[in-house]
Chains A and B, each alone.
Chain A
Amino acid sequence: MASSLLAPRLGIGLLLAGLMGCLAASLMVGRYPVPPLTALGILFGQTPDWPPEMSTVLMKIRLPRILAALEVGAALAASGSAYQGMFRNPLVSPDILGVSAGAGFGAALAILLSWNAFAVQASAFLFGLLAVGLTSLIGLWRGGREDSTLVMILAGVIIGTMFSAFISLIKFSADPNNTLPAITFWLMGSLASISMSDVRLAAVPILVGLGGLLLLRWRLNLLCFGDEEATSLGVNVPLMRLLVILCATLATASAVAISGIIGLVGLVAPYLTRLLVGPDHRVMVPCAILLGSGYLLLVDDLARSLLPSEVPLGILTSLLGAPVFLLLLVKARRSWS
């Protein structure tokens, strides 16, 4: 029996086509509908025969938001796949490992101190690294003796909770007139107030992280077999782990810094991708990137058109992700016993 539904090329092709479809749809849907031909015309800079506000909506509001959804979805999906492979555990993701909360704390701290956007990114990255470092240490410490899959999740929950407490502390001490609303709204996980400069700023670290993970993706397969086997196959395991953690955390932290905490995308996207194309990271990582961006784009379209007033994106992704986590837990229990 094959372990995937689709052949690699077909999978990539279909996901790419799907993503294009989502992109086209996302440009048109919303409170202010833009006809398809007009949307194309605006994008490709034709002489305007449409109202100027239509162009403003598309270029200043909708396009940055769509690009941000692509960036954030790709970053969370790729780093989720990488963490899952590296920790040999389909139940972890940037948020479950506490990375998102750590990065969120770093970014909130920077916002509180009114640092510039670059410093927000850097601070998110450093605290994201700290969080994943702490979680891995607890996992290494207890994991040999007890059920390592579960220990890793619990460690992540604790570290995540700790950083969430720190975030609350920051909110508590923030100025209720300016920084507090900024931090609160951003933390909810939303792409509503994203600007083109946010998109540009996050693009570089996210592309670096994704590029690194794409280059190392075959080696992720080897890490799935455990440190001893990977070492005996000739892999420099400590170096490989460090590189994977650096790349995945860089991508996650940059995504968190512009979008806040958008939960469980890094769990759902790798899971769905593995169902479609199988677990081989050579195919799986690029497909997860495509699927993750498409998924977040669709959910963001829902977030801005489902109800008369906008629903924060993070709420929707968490509600969609929770059943997937439960499903994975049931499946994992079956294979543990």
Chain B
Amino acid sequence: MTALLEVEGLACGYGTRAVVEGVSFSLCPGEVLCLLGPNGIGKTTLFKTLLRLLPAKAGRVLLNGEDAAALSRRRFAALMGYVPQAHLPPFPFRVIEVVAMGRTAHLGMLASPGRRDMELAEQALDNLSIGHLRHRACTEISGGERQMVLLARALTQQPAILMLDEPTSNLDYGNQVRVLDHVSRLAAEQDLCIVMTTHDPNQALLHATRAATIDRDGRFAIGRPNDLVTASYLSATYGVRAGIFDTPAGSLCLPLKRSWA
């Protein structure tokens, strides 16, 4: 299968300083990549560079074989959709209005969404089983619902690659499970290529086909989740003792309780 997202020797950072260097990988349709790492290590920097929100220091990103840096804004947005962390917009837009904003990349400079665009927005809401929210104000729904609305907006964008920035932070347990189930399903059913950042190693073990880590020296590593998320990785990166356990649901990691006796 041909790669949808190819990253070759990418270096990223702010100003003159490179935070992460030597990032190379490629992803095919249907793959889910979990980007793990503690705060302040360059996860977000790498993520924003892939999204073209920050300029790359070196290397390049290919989308569908085309150099991402050379693509027009609209073409880029039609290939890569961004699901930011849920936050409150300053005005109480209705959910359906927010989701229809995903059509921007497919509309002319002065156009606004038409009937067909609204249908696609409705479909995205139904696809994520949140059709009942369509006329609610996006400031009055829960954080989990808001995260789903942003996911629906990115789906309305009809991208080939979906970038999710810590989609489960700020969500309660039930919503975390629901959001990740939908993400896994989208990769499997619609052959979307998904890149998400997360703090939870178990999300990589459970949902990812590939995991990537950035260590304290800015070194990037990528591999199968089971090979990368190990007890020694968790101890080296987070300084915690944790074990990896084989369960019927797959391998999972658990912190080991110290004995105080």
Q: B15 at interface (Cβ–Cβ under 8 A)?
A: no
Q: How does the 8 Å CB contact mask read for B101-116 relative to A, with 1 for contact and 0 for none?
A: 1101100001111000
Q: Which residues of B lie under 8 Å from residue A233 when comparing CB positions?
A: 77, 82, 101-102, 104-105, 153, 157
Given A222-B104, A225-B89, A2:B73 Cβ within 8 A: no
Q: Which residues of B lie under 8 Å from residue A232 when comparing CB positions?
A: 51, 53, 77, 80-82, 84
* Contact residues, B5-60 vs A (CB, 8 A): 48, 51-53
Q: Which residues of B lie under 8 Å from residue A133 when comparing CB positions?
A: none
Q: A282 at interface (Cβ–Cβ under 8 A)?
A: yes
User: A41: shortest Cβ distance to chain B, in Å?
Assistant: 43
CA distance A222 to B97 in the complex (A): 10
Tell me which of A90, A231, A234 contacts B90 (CB under 8 A): A90
Q: B233 at interface (Cβ–Cβ under 8 A)?
A: no
| Interface range on chain B (Cβ under 8 Å from partner) | 35 or more
User: B226: shortest Cβ distance to chain A, in Å?
Assistant: 32
Q: A88 at interface (Cβ–Cβ under 8 A)?
A: yes
Q: Which residues of A lie under 8 Å from residue B102 when comparing CB positions?
A: 233
* Contact residues, B93-133 vs A (CB, 8 A): 93-94, 97, 101-102, 104-105, 110-113
Q: Which residues of A lie under 8 Å from residue B104 when comparing CB positions?
A: 219, 222, 233-235
Asked if B105 and A90 make an inter-chain contact with CB atoms under 8 angstroms apart, the answer reads no
Q: B224 at interface (Cβ–Cβ under 8 A)?
A: no
Number of A-B contacts (CB under 8 A): 86
Given A88-B90, A232-B53, A234-B77, A2:B135 Cβ within 8 A: yes
Asked if A228 and B53 make an inter-chain contact with CB atoms under 8 angstroms apart, the answer reads yes
Q: B240 at interface (Cβ–Cβ under 8 A)?
A: no
Q: B220 at interface (Cβ–Cβ under 8 A)?
A: no
Asked if A280 and B94 make an inter-chain contact with CB atoms under 8 angstroms apart, the answer reads yes
Q: Which residues of A lie under 8 Å from residue B80 when comparing CB positions?
A: 232
Interface centre among B93, B105, B113, B139 (most CB of A within 10 A): B93
CA distance A222 to B76 in the complex (A): 17
Given A2-B94, A224-B93, A234:B73 Cβ within 8 A: yes
Q: B92 at interface (Cβ–Cβ under 8 A)?
A: yes
Given A232-B53, A234-B76, A3:B82 Cβ within 8 A: no
* Chain A, Cβ-Cβ closest to B157: A233
Q: Which residues of B lie under 8 Å from residue A274 when comparing CB positions?
A: 91
CA distance A233 to B154 in the complex (A): 8
Tell me which of B78, B88, B136 contacts A234 (CB under 8 A): B78
User: A174: shortest Cβ distance to chain B, in Å?
Assistant: 41
CA distance A90 to B102 in the complex (A): 24
User: B84: shortest Cβ distance to chain A, in Å?
Assistant: 6
Interface centre among A215, A234, A279, A282 (most CB of B within 10 A): A234
CA distance A218 to B107 in the complex (A): 11
Q: Which residues of A lie under 8 Å from residue B78 when comparing CB positions?
A: 234
Asked if A228 and B84 make an inter-chain contact with CB atoms under 8 angstroms apart, the answer reads yes
Tell me which of B84, B97, B135, B140 contacts A221 (CB under 8 A): B97
* Chain B, Cβ-Cβ closest to A90: B90
Tell me which of A89, A228, A335 contacts B88 (CB under 8 A): A335
CA distance A278 to B92 in the complex (A): 7
User: A270: shortest Cβ distance to chain B, in Å?
Assistant: 10
Interface, chain B (partner A; CB < 8 A): 48, 51-53, 73-74, 76-78, 80-82, 84, 88-94, 97, 101-102, 104-105, 110-113, 135-137, 139-140, 153, 157
Interface, chain A (partner B; CB < 8 A): 1-3, 85, 88-90, 215-219, 221-222, 224-225, 228-229, 231-236, 274, 278-280, 282, 335
Using A3-B140, A234-B76 as known contacts, list a sample of 14 further A-B pairs with CB atoms less than 8 Å apart, ordered by residue number in A. Answer: A1-B140, A2-B135, A85-B91, A218-B112, A219-B104, A221-B93, A224-B89, A231-B73, A232-B81, A233-B102, A234-B105, A235-B73, A236-B73, A280-B93
